[in-house]
Structure 1
Amino acid sequence: MSARDLVVLGSASAVPTRFRNHNGYLLRWDGHGLLFDPGEGTQRQMTLAGVSAHDVTWICVTHFHGDHCLGVPGIVQRIARDGVPHPVHAVFPASGAVYWERLRHATAFVDTAVIDERPVSGDRAEIAAGPFTLTARRLSHPVESYGYRLEEPDGVTMLPAELAARGVRGPLVRRLQQEGRVTTRGGRTVTLEECSVRRPGQKVAFVMDTRLCDAAFELADGVDLLVIESTFLDEDAALAAEYGHLTAGQAGRVAARGGVRRLVLTHFSERYRTDDEPRFAAQAAAAGFTGDIVVAHDLDRVPLPRRRRAPAGGGRADG
């Protein structure tokens, strides 16, 4: 089975600690690897996590504060050094193009031609990305910052009992999937709707540095996995608002309203101690979120929840 999971490469905010590296998140998705916000030290964290430059097919930068992008030079140079042959698409705010250029060519090295730059601008941008769509939405932060949403199209799950009852077997099954309608040897016309249920595509959202805003709620709506900053605890909400960040409770509120299935809290301020960690999860839950909560740690691997499957009679259910 193809892997779909999140590899946490770093979970600190502006200042790394003894236990938390700067940001870095690799979303593995059926042979694609989306590297979000590679902060300082990401290249080494990838080695510790057992992933390589060859696993990276996308680099997505939310904004150009150092803890979200200072790892770009090392990643790009590693891609070049290791001879990665496939395109690596780079998505970043167009307003920060000067910073991207400085990071992209930070030092002398034998360059690579595989980096495909795709700057985004405006309040919303949608990027066709093969098996999924990548949507960028502008957030609320002192510098221009974007959140990202990855979404695959809905599919179908075939129902063997219904196929057998209608005499659809062998090559006819594939034709039914492709064409939506087949005629059996007995002359019966069978439709795809009779023999399948809708399989909702999986969705993941990354919401990094931002205050509460409509875009954060839109990105999180209906996703299976939400990776979201929770820089501060709720008692420090004034600081969060001043610096353009979320509290744990606010992150929980975004997840609750969106019906998120698994919530990953990350980007923690260095002001908090290890024994404060349970409070982040508790405050997210107190905001009304009742799904799975993961307080991220470096080198964690967080699987996507199992696929949802719509029952034959309509509606949605986990499958």
Structure 2
Amino acid sequence: MPSGLIALLDDVAMIAKLASASMDDIAGATAKAGAKAAGVVIDDTAVTPRYVTGLSPERELPIIWKIALGSLRNKLLFLLPGAIALAAFAPFLITPLLMLGGAYLAFEATEKILEVVLNDHHHQVDLLQADTPQELEDRQVQGAIRTDFILSAEIVAIALNALGDLTLWEKAAALVFVSIAITVGVYGAVGLIVKLDDIGLHMAERKNRATQAFGRGLIHVVPRLLSALSGIGTAAMLWVGGGILLHGMEELGAPTIPHKIHDLAHHVSEAVGGGTFGAILEWISNAIGAAIAGAIIGWVLAMIIRRFHKHPEELIVD
């Protein structure tokens, strides 16, 4: 572990011992930052199970462990120092970088939709070219860690942007807590999800009829759950990516479109009389508006990239 990170963690420990009031601020900021990054966390949780699909069941948890370690390394060794340097020397770049990440999330979500619509299976073709199970596993792990780096960068950037006026070291402490908590939460949930079918099989072999029925139910539900998670992850990417872009437009002095979406959502709330139900509808309307904005930006980017990028087999055909 680099000495700089050790020094950082030592300073965090010192803050914990000497400034309990500051730690209260850090705890509150950590919770706020984690909540702000929730949409990307949903997508991270939804995306990861596909990287163990088709591999031996006994390798599922070891692979997730490798990906989790890679994710923590991404956050603590690369992204966190970069975020702190950004906050210290170039805070004006945070919003533009967030918008770049939001555009990427929107693009990725749109690409997933286009792959389904156009029946594009290039990812699966690439994996089938692996010569050995170990090579396939290595490719899956490397691909997952690369994807995680992008999602983790957006999580760290969103968290940093939510930390407000904390001191530099308080921001560092909060980002460490956010990074560890999100990594444990995401990959713990992923580990549970990918083993649900094995849990179901184990329960189906028990003598108790109720346990057997529940186990068989799990076996039938898991494939649908994985499919639903993929859809939820795509929707979350559009919503979060679009929301980041809209917020960035407001920050950079172009509030027209964001304000129109907010106003429309407010009118929807008023149309049902406000209250709790109105607030829920307003939130949903804002989320839908953000997702539509994300889909538009993502589609434009996807069309540009598809125009200039071809897969190897397409080049052969040409």
- Tell me the TM-score normalised to structure 1 length: 0.21
Higher relative contact order (CA 8 A, sep 6+): 2
- Tell me the TM-score normalised to structure 2 length: 0.21
Structure with bigger helix share is: 2
Structure with bigger strand share is: 1
